[in-house]
Amino acid sequence: MSKRHPQTYTGIEIGTASIKVVVGQFQPDGILNLCGVAEEATNGSVVKGEIVDAKKAMEQLIVAMRRAEQTGDVQIDTDAIYLAVTGGHLHSVNSIGTVVVSNADRRITQADRENAETQAWNYHFRPDQPPVNFFNRLFRVDGIREVDNPVGLVGAKLEAEVHIVYGDRNRLDTGCKLVEEAAGQPPSAQVFSPIAAGMATFFQKEAIGKGVLVLDIGAGVTEYAVLQGGGGDLCFHTGQITVGGDHLANDLSLGLHLPFSRCRELVERLAEWNGTVMMTQDGRNRLIEITLGINDRRSIYVSTVEQILEARLKELFELIRDDLRQQGVLERIGHGVTLCGGLARLPRLEDLVKNVFEMPAEIGRVQGVSGGSAEILNAPRFITPIGLLRFGKKHREERQPQRMPLWSQIKADVGKLRSALSDAMKW
Amino acid sequence: MPYPPIQRVAILGLGSAGAHIVAELAADDLLAGADLAVADTDLGTLKALADSVPVQIPLGGDWTRQESCGGNATLGEKAAGAASDDLRQFFEGASLAIVACGLGKGTGAGAARVVARITRQMDITTLFVVTLPFTHEGNWRCHQAKRDLELLRTLTDAVMAIPNDLLFTTLPANTPALRGFEVVNSILAEAISGLARLPSATGILSVDFADLRGLLKERPGYCHLGVGRGNGAERWKAALEEFMRSPMIGGPETLTKADAAIITLVGATDLTVGEMQTCMTSLQQYFPSHTKLLVGTYTDPRCQDEVFLTGVLCRFQGTDGGAVRETAAAATSKTGAGKAGKAALASTAVQGELPLHEPALGYFSKAIPTICRGVNFDLPTCHRLGLALDLGQ
C-alpha cells in the first residue's frame, strides 16, 4: 500500500440499471472536485444487485472507466478504487464488546474503551460469510447510559456496540474480481451502498445529532441506513430489501399484461402523464395510450398504474419501517428520511414516504462537491458513487496517521537528529 | 443419579462389511473400555481378522458351508439364528450395544434382524449403524438394501443408515476403488468410536442414547457422519474444520440442509468453557433455524490434549428445504371483481383444497427469489393483495 496521496479517487457502483464510475480529487479544504463521470447501462447483466453475466458486465465496466477518464482527462489511480456492494446476501449484526472497568476509581480510560471496541470487532463469522464494514454504534455505561465518548466517565461496566455488515464471500469476491480484471487492481475497500450515500449527502452539514434514515431506492435493491453524528460517523442500523425499480416494472407488466420493457419506460416517464406513485382522484379520467403493434393499441387508466405502483412501494416502505421498529431504531431518527437512488425522483415519492414513516422526507443532494454538470449533481442516482469517494478518503485517513507538511517534517527530523547527537555526546 | 451408570459397551460387526469396520475400530486405542466382536458366516473373513479382533462368533456354519451367504438374507437370518446363543452370551451384561453391518447382501442384513430381536428381549439399548451400498454395486443390491432397511426398521427405531454414495460427492474421482471402501470403513469406525465413548465420559452437557433414539424415531432418510479432531492452540477450530471436511459431510452445505443433528464435543479435563461456547456457537451458525439440534459436551481423561467433534446429521425423507417452495397460494391473478371472484369464494366454502396456480414471476422467473418471512416478494404486490384492477380497453 503506497503512502503517497493518490492522484485521484475512483468510485465504482455496479448497479442493476447501470454501472457508474466517478473519478475525483480532493482539495485541501475537503471539497471534492469531480473530474470524470460515466454511466453505462447494464442491459440485464446485473439483476437484483448481483452480477449474472460477468463477461458483459466487465465490458461495460471497462467502457465506463475509459469514458470517465476521457471526459475528465484524468487517469484512474488503481490504488484508490472503492466499490459499492449491494445484494440480497448482505445482512447486518450488532456486536457487543464488554469490559469491566479496571481502575480503582472506576473512571473509564482510553484503554477500556479500546478494549471494548476490540472485543466488539472480534465477532466470530462463518468463513463463507466474511464481514464487509464495521461501524461504531454507541457506548453504553452500566447497561443503561448511552454515550458517544465514555472516556472519563465513572462506571462499573462499559459496553461498545459495533454494527457489522456481512455478506456471502463468493458474491463479494465476484465484484472484486471484476474490478481487478478491469482495472488491474482489486478495489482498496468495499462499502455497503447506503453508507456511501449518507456520507455524500451529509458532508459539512452540522452533525446530525438527531439521526437520519438514508433510503437508496435502486432498480434492483432498496438499501437503507440509519446514520448519526458528523458526516454520518455513527451507523445505527443498515439493511436491504431486494425489491427495486425492476419490481415496479414487473408488477405493471404482470398486472396489466404488457411487455416488461414498455413497463420500464412507463415507470421512467411517469411524470409525462402526470402520473404519481399515489393514487389520485382524477387519475380515472386520464388514459395512457400504449401501442404494442400495428393493430394492437391499449388504453390504460392512469389510476390503475398508480394503484399498482402505490401498492408495491407502500409494501416496501412498510417492510423497512417494521424492521426499524423491531430493531428499536425508529425512534432514533429525528431528522427525517433522505431519498437517494435512481427512483428517488418518482413523482410524489416523498409524500408516500412521509405517509408511511410519519416523518419529513426529502430528496438527497450531494454536499461539498464541485465540478461535474448540474445534471449529475442533481441526479439522486449518482449520490452513492460520489459518496464512495468520501468513504475512500476517510478509509485512507483512518489507515494512516496524518502526514505533516514537509517543512514541519524537516524541522521535526532535525530536532530528532540534534537530540540523538546530544545523547551520543553524553557518553 | 437415578439409573446405574452405563458399564459395558458391546460393539458387534456383522457380515464382512461390519467385520471390517470393527477391525478398524480395534486399531483405535481409545476404545479401551468397549468389547469388540465380529460375526460372520464366512470363516475365511473371521480367520483373516483373528489378530485384530480376537472375539469371533461364527454364524451357522452348517447353513452356508462356512462360506458367505452369497447375498441371500434369509440364509443369513437362519445362520444367525443358529448362533443366537453365542450372540446372547456376547451381549450379556452390556448396557449399550452398537451393531455395524452393510445392507444389500446376505449376512449383514439377515443377522441384523436376529440381533435386533435378541437385544430387544434382553432389553439392551442398541444402535444399528448400517451402510447402504454404492450405486455402482448394482441396482438389485440397492433395492435389496432398501428392503432390508425397511424390515429392520420394523424391529427397531435406532437405525442410522449411511449411504456409501455420499462419498462420491467428496472423494476425488481418481481415487482407487479399493480406497473407497477403506475410507468408508475408517469413517464409520471413527464415528462409532466417538459414539461409543460417550457412556464412559463424564457429561457436562449430556446427550445420551435416549436423545439419539428419539431423533432416530422420526425415521431420517439417511444420515451423515463426521468426525474431526484437533490439538494445539485453536484445537476446536481445527476439529470443526476437519469435521466439515469429513468425506461423508463434505462441506458446510450439508449442515445447512440438515433437519436434525447430534453433535458431541469430547475433550480432556482441561476443556475450557470458552472453547466449548465458541465451538458450539460457531457450529450452530451453520444450521438453519428449523433444525433439531442436540449438542453434548464430555470430558474424557484419555483424550489428553485433543478435542474430538463427532456429529451425526440427519435428513428426513420428503423435505426439500421448506422455505422456497412456499408458493403463496393467494397468487391467482384476478382481473376485476365479479362473477369469477365470487365463484372462487363460493368454492372455497365447499372444498377443502384448491389447486395451486403456478404463480407468475415474469422478469424474475429465473432469478434468486426474494423471500422475506416466507413470502415471495417477487410476485406482484397487487396480486398478493388481491387488488381489483381496472384494465381499461
In terms of domains, do A348 and A413 share one?
Answer: no
In terms of domains, do A32 and A69 share one?
Answer: yes
**Partner-chain contact A311 B370, CB within 8 Å:** no
Instruction: Find the closest chain A residue to B285 by CA distance.
Output: A126
In terms of domains, do B208 and B259 share one?
Answer: yes
Strand partners, A288: A300
**Partner-chain contact A241 B252, CB within 8 Å:** no
A197 vs B: CB within 8 A: no
The domain that holds A137 is classified in CATH as 3.30.1490.110
Cα-based angle B87, B93, B98 (whole degrees, multiple of 5)? 60
- Rounded to 10 deg, the angle between the B273-284 and B235-245 helix axes is 30
Closest residue to A88, CB basis, from B333, B368, B382: B368
Q: Please give, rounded to a whole number of angstroms, the shortest distance from the CA of A250 to a CA of chain B.
A: 6
A123 vs B: CB within 8 A: no
Q: Please give, rounded to a whole number of angstroms, the shortest distance from the CA of B285 to a CA of chain A.
A: 7
The β-bridge relationship of strands B220-231 and B306-316 is: antiparallel
**Partner-chain contact B372 A253, CB within 8 Å:** no
Closest residue to B392, CB basis, from A251, A304, A308: A304
pLDDT < 70: residue spans in chain B: 1-7, 28-33, 61, 63-66, 167-171, 197-209, 219, 221, 317-359, 392-393
In terms of domains, do B195 and B166 share one?
Answer: yes
Residue A231 has pLDDT above 70, yes or no: no
Confidence at residue A20, expressed as pLDDT on a 0 to 100 scale: 94
Rounded to the nearest 5°, which phi and psi values hold at A294? Answer: -65, -45
The total number of structural domains that make up chain B:
3
Confidence at residue A25, expressed as pLDDT on a 0 to 100 scale: 92
Question: Among A311, A331, A365, where does a domain finish?
Answer: A365
Q: Write the CB contacts of A190 (distance below 8 Å, at least 6 apart in sequence).
A: A82, A83, A84, A85, A132, A133, A172, A175, A176
In terms of domains, do B79 and B218 share one?
Answer: no
The secondary structure of B210-251 as a DSSP string is HHHHHHHTT-EEEEEEEEEEEESTTHHHHHHHHHHHSTTT-S
The domain that holds B195 is classified in CATH as 3.40.50.1440
In terms of domains, do A62 and A135 share one?
Answer: no
Write the burial class of residue A3 (CB in 10 Å: 0-12 exposed, 13-18 middle, 19+ buried).
exposed
A167 vs B368, more confident? A167
In terms of domains, do B179 and B286 share one?
Answer: no
**Partner-chain contact A242 B278, CB within 8 Å:** no
- Three-class SS string for chain A? CCCCCCCCEEEEEECCCEEEEEEEEECCCCCEEEEEEEEEECCCCEECCEECCHHHHHHHHHHHHHHHHHHHCCCCCCCCEEEEECCCCCEEEEEEEEEECCCCCCECCHHHHHHHHHHHHCCCCCCCCCEEEEEEEEEEECCCEEECCCCCCECCEEEEEEEEEECCHHHHHHHHHHHHHHHCCCCCEEEEHHHHHHHHHCCCCCCEEEEEEEEEECCCCEEEEEEEECCCCEEEEEEEECCCHHHHHHHHHHHHCCCHHHHHHHHHCHHHHCCCCCCCHHHHHCEEEEECCCCCEEEEEHHHHHHHHHHHHHHHHHHHHHHHHHHCCHHHCCCEEEEECCCCCCCCHHHHHHHHHCCCEEECCCCCEECCCHHHHHCHHHHHHHHHHHHHHHHHHHHCCCCCCHHHHHHHHHHHHHHHHHHHHHC
- Asked if residue B393 belongs to a domain, the reply is no
In terms of domains, do B49 and B133 share one?
Answer: yes
- Secondary structure class of B176 (helix, strand, coil): coil
In terms of domains, do A212 and A310 share one?
Answer: yes
Instruction: Find the closest chain B residue to A88 by CA distance.
Output: B370
Number of A:B CB contacts under 8 A?
A: 89
**Partner-chain contact A251 B372, CB within 8 Å:** no
- Average of pLDDT values for A119-127? 87
- Average of pLDDT values for A219-240? 83
Confidence at residue A349, expressed as pLDDT on a 0 to 100 scale: 92
Residue A319 has pLDDT above 90, yes or no: yes
Instruction: Find the closest chain A residue to B373 by CA distance.
Output: A319
Confidence at residue B205, expressed as pLDDT on a 0 to 100 scale: 62
Give the rounded percent of residues in chain A with a pLDDT score beyond 70.
90
Closest residue to A126, CB basis, from B286, B364, B389: B286
A-chain residues near B372 (CB < 8 A): 241, 319
In terms of domains, do B77 and B143 share one?
Answer: yes
Confidence at residue A196, expressed as pLDDT on a 0 to 100 scale: 92
Structure confidence by residue, pLDDT tens digits, A40-55: 999 889 999 889 999 9
Closest residue to B367, CB basis, from A47, A254, A300: A47
**Partner-chain contact B377 A304, CB within 8 Å:** no
In terms of domains, do A159 and A175 share one?
Answer: no
Q: Please give, rounded to a whole number of angstroms, the shortest distance from the CA of B367 to a CA of chain A.
A: 7
Question: Among B296, B321, B346, where does a domain finish?
Answer: B321
Measured CB to CB, residues of chain B less than 8 Å from chain A are 252, 278, 281-282, 285-286, 333, 360-364, 367-368, 370, 372, 377-378, 380-383, 385, 387, 389-393
Confidence at residue A165, expressed as pLDDT on a 0 to 100 scale: 94
- Asked if residue B368 belongs to a domain, the reply is yes
A171 vs B: CB within 8 A: no
In terms of domains, do A171 and A150 share one?
Answer: no
Instruction: Find the closest chain B residue to A249 by CA distance.
Output: B363
CB of B34 closer than 8 Å to CB of B16: no
Residue A67 has pLDDT above 70, yes or no: yes
Range of the domain at B258: 203-321
**Partner-chain contact B389 A308, CB within 8 Å:** yes
Cell numbers 485433543 label which residue? B306
**Partner-chain contact A300 B378, CB within 8 Å:** no
Confidence at residue B177, expressed as pLDDT on a 0 to 100 scale: 73
The domain that holds A15 is classified in CATH as 3.30.420.40
In terms of domains, do B132 and B260 share one?
Answer: no
- Asked if residue B390 belongs to a domain, the reply is no
Instruction: Find the closest chain B residue to A306 by CA distance.
Output: B389
Closest residue to B252, CB basis, from A128, A246, A256: A128
- Asked if residue B183 belongs to a domain, the reply is yes
Give the rounded percent of residues in chain A with a pLDDT score beyond 90.
43
Question: Among A349, A365, A381, where does a domain finish?
Answer: A365
Confidence at residue A283, expressed as pLDDT on a 0 to 100 scale: 65
**Partner-chain contact B362 A88, CB within 8 Å:** no
**Partner-chain contact B387 A311, CB within 8 Å:** yes
A65 vs B: CB within 8 A: no
- Average of pLDDT values for A81-104? 90
In terms of domains, do A256 and A342 share one?
Answer: yes
Range of the domain at A244: 207-365
Q: Please give, rounded to a whole number of angstroms, the shortest distance from the CA of B372 to a CA of chain A.
A: 9
Which of A6-20, A199-213, A257-271 is least confident?
A199-213
In terms of domains, do B41 and B148 share one?
Answer: yes
**Partner-chain contact A250 B377, CB within 8 Å:** no
Question: Among B304, B321, B338, where does a domain finish?
Answer: B321
The total number of structural domains that make up chain A:
3
In terms of domains, do B65 and B110 share one?
Answer: yes
**Partner-chain contact A254 B383, CB within 8 Å:** yes
Question: Among A320, A342, A365, where does a domain finish?
Answer: A365
Number of H helices, E strands in chain B: 14, 13
Residue A414 has pLDDT above 50, yes or no: yes
**Partner-chain contact B252 A126, CB within 8 Å:** yes
CB of A13 closer than 8 Å to CB of A19: yes
Structure confidence by residue, pLDDT tens digits, A350-405: 999 999 999 999 999 998 898 888 888 889 999 999 999 999 998 888 876 544 45
In terms of domains, do B20 and B101 share one?
Answer: yes
Between CA B102 and CA B84 the distance in angstroms is: 19
Q: Write the CB contacts of A128 (distance below 8 Å, at least 6 apart in sequence).
A: A168, A169, A170, B252
Global pTM reads: 0.63
In terms of domains, do A220 and A348 share one?
Answer: yes
Instruction: Find the closest chain B residue to A221 by CA distance.
Output: B370
Q: Which of B363, B364, B366 best tests the A interface by mutation, with the highest count of A CBs <10 A?
A: B363
In terms of domains, do B241 and B261 share one?
Answer: yes
A-chain residues near B385 (CB < 8 A): 311
Q: Which of B335, B391, B393 best tests the A interface by mutation, with the highest count of A CBs <10 A?
A: B391
Q: Please give, rounded to a whole number of angstroms, the shortest distance from the CA of B37 to a CA of chain A.
A: 42
Rounded to the nearest 5°, which phi and psi values hold at A59? Answer: -60, -45
b/e map B304-342, b = 16+ CB within 10 Å? eebbbbbbbbbbeeeeeeeeeeeeeeebbbbeeeeeeee
Cell numbers 395510450 label which residue? A289
In terms of domains, do A35 and A178 share one?
Answer: yes
A-chain residues near B363 (CB < 8 A): 246, 249-250, 253, 260
Cell numbers 437385544 label which residue? B119
Question: Among B278, B304, B321, where does a domain finish?
Answer: B321
B-chain residues near A47 (CB < 8 A): 364, 367
Q: Which of A89, A221, A242 best tests the B interface by mutation, with the highest count of B CBs <10 A?
A: A242
Closest residue to B390, CB basis, from A304, A311, A319: A304
CB of A242 closer than 8 Å to CB of B370: yes
Closest residue to B377, CB basis, from A243, A304, A307: A243
Confidence at residue A332, expressed as pLDDT on a 0 to 100 scale: 85
The DSSP H or E segment spanning B189 is helix B177-196
**Partner-chain contact A299 B393, CB within 8 Å:** yes
Q: Please give, rounded to a whole number of angstroms, the shortest distance from the CA of B364 to a CA of chain A.
A: 8
Q: Write the CB contacts of B330 (distance below 8 Å, at least 6 apart in sequence).
A: B383, B384, B386
Closest residue to A299, CB basis, from B385, B389, B392: B392
In terms of domains, do B134 and B224 share one?
Answer: no
- Asked if residue B389 belongs to a domain, the reply is no
**Partner-chain contact B363 A246, CB within 8 Å:** yes
In terms of domains, do A233 and A315 share one?
Answer: yes
B-chain residues near A263 (CB < 8 A): none
Between CA B321 and CA B318 the distance in angstroms is: 9
A170 vs B: CB within 8 A: no
Between CA A308 and CA B389 the distance in angstroms is: 8
Closest residue to B381, CB basis, from A50, A128, A315: A315
In terms of domains, do A287 and A325 share one?
Answer: yes
Between CA A216 and CA A341 the distance in angstroms is: 5
B-chain residues near A247 (CB < 8 A): 364, 377-378
Q: Which of A47, A221, A253, A254 best tests the B interface by mutation, with the highest count of B CBs <10 A?
A: A254
In terms of domains, do A360 and A223 share one?
Answer: yes
